[in-house]
Amino acid sequence: MDILFDVLRTAIAPSTAAFALAAIGLNFHFGLTGLLNMGQAGFMLLGMYGFAISIQQGWPIWLAVIVGLVAAALFALLLGWPTLKLRGDYLAIVTIAAAEMVRFLGRSQSLKDLTGASSGIRGSDYKAPFEELSPFPDSIVEIGPFSMHGSRSSSWWLTLVTWALVFVCAGLFWRLANSPWGRVLKGVREDEDAVRSLGKNVYSYKMQALIIGGVIGALGGITWSLGNSVQPDSMGRPTTFWLWTLLLLGGAATVFGPLLGSILFWSSLTLVKSLASAFIPSDVLAPTELEPFSLVLVGVTLMLLVVFRPQGVLGNKKELAF
């Protein structure tokens, strides 16, 4: 029973929602437009830095959010400007490198005053303005079987806000994917030259998609940092690969794929971890080996999924499959 609660708690956790947000952004890139963005973690990290540093400067919270989002938009412009003229794979190479550059810039000692270098920015330095907005009590609140703090860190307040944002962004995706604008993007995903021959400015459409997806990624980064802390190394390559994994798991080019993918991915990880710690004796599998072990198991499950259901759980095999 405890294991079940652990799994459910993971399923509704703000971090799960934050990953769903970032995956919705990636869905604009890959699912709609076919852009191979391998640096979504970089967009998240920029959002986090933009937000946390602005708060530390004493700026109001709404401005801090805007700074985070604008940073991601500028990053998208800078990345897309030279690479969107080229074909798909080049964008993958540039984005993975650029995301690493953001991370290393964050880690570098020269910006220690702003970014805190490799130790990052502590949560207590930037979370207060958000937590003060909370309508929940400043104590542990129990709702049903779940108990979480009302306002602090990974709280009911953050859960509410993050999931609300997830649904807003999913709605945004639905609206845009089912508009003539989304149709042009799907055309670009299939064949750029064909869309060009029909009189559409492909470059501009790809840029718009890259910016929108990147900004939603930054929003995911900001909400994630509100439940954790700003830590450059927590937004490395694995984060991007998890995002890809959960997007493909849920189903790319679908409205609820990123949500379902994020919930399934993180809860199955918790499930495997809890089961392993409950049933495998510690002399066979040391507690420190639990995390890698469960990642391996989840990885194997995903491989099976790609083999037997390449379109993901919700996806349409005729439209987009891996």
- By the 10 Å C-beta count (0-12 exposed, 13-18 middle, 19+ buried), 204 is classed as exposed
| 114, 119, 160, 183: which one binds another protein (CB under 8 A) | 183
Contact between 161 and 224 under an 8 Å Cβ cutoff? The reply is no
Looking at 154-162, 194-202, 222-230, 236-244, which segment touches another protein (CB under 8 A)? Answer: 194-202
Q: Specify the residue, 74 or 176, whose C-beta has the smaller distance to another protein.
A: 176
Q: Does 319 bind another protein (CB under 8 A)?
A: yes
Q: Does 181 bind another protein (CB under 8 A)?
A: yes
Helix (H, G, I), strand (E, B) or coil at 155: coil
Q: How many CB atoms lie within 10 A of CB 280?
A: 14
Q: Specify the residue, 28 or 51, whose C-beta has the smaller distance to another protein.
A: 28
Size of the site for another protein (CB under 8 A): 28
Q: Specify the residue, 199 or 281, whose C-beta has the smaller distance to another protein.
A: 199
| 110, 193, 287, 288: which one binds another protein (CB under 8 A) | 193
Contact between 113 and 119 under an 8 Å Cβ cutoff? The reply is no
| 57, 112, 164, 190: which one binds another protein (CB under 8 A) | 190
Chain centroid to CA 292: how far? 21
Radius of gyration of the CA atoms of the chain, in A: 20
Q: Specify the residue, 76 or 202, whose C-beta has the smaller distance to another protein.
A: 202
Q: Which H/E stretch holds residue 146?
A: strand 146-149
Q: Does 72 bind another protein (CB under 8 A)?
A: no
Q: Does 135 bind another protein (CB under 8 A)?
A: no
Site for another protein in 197-216 (CB under 8 A): 197-202, 208, 212
Q: Does 195 bind another protein (CB under 8 A)?
A: yes
Q: Does 187 bind another protein (CB under 8 A)?
A: yes
The Cα 263–Cα 82 span in angstroms is 36
Nearest residue to 118 (alpha-carbon basis) of 15, 229, 220, 226: 229
What is the DSSP pairing of strand 146-149 with strand 140-143? antiparallel
Residues forming the site for another protein (CB under 8 A)? 175-176, 179-184, 186-187, 189-191, 193-202, 208, 212, 318-320
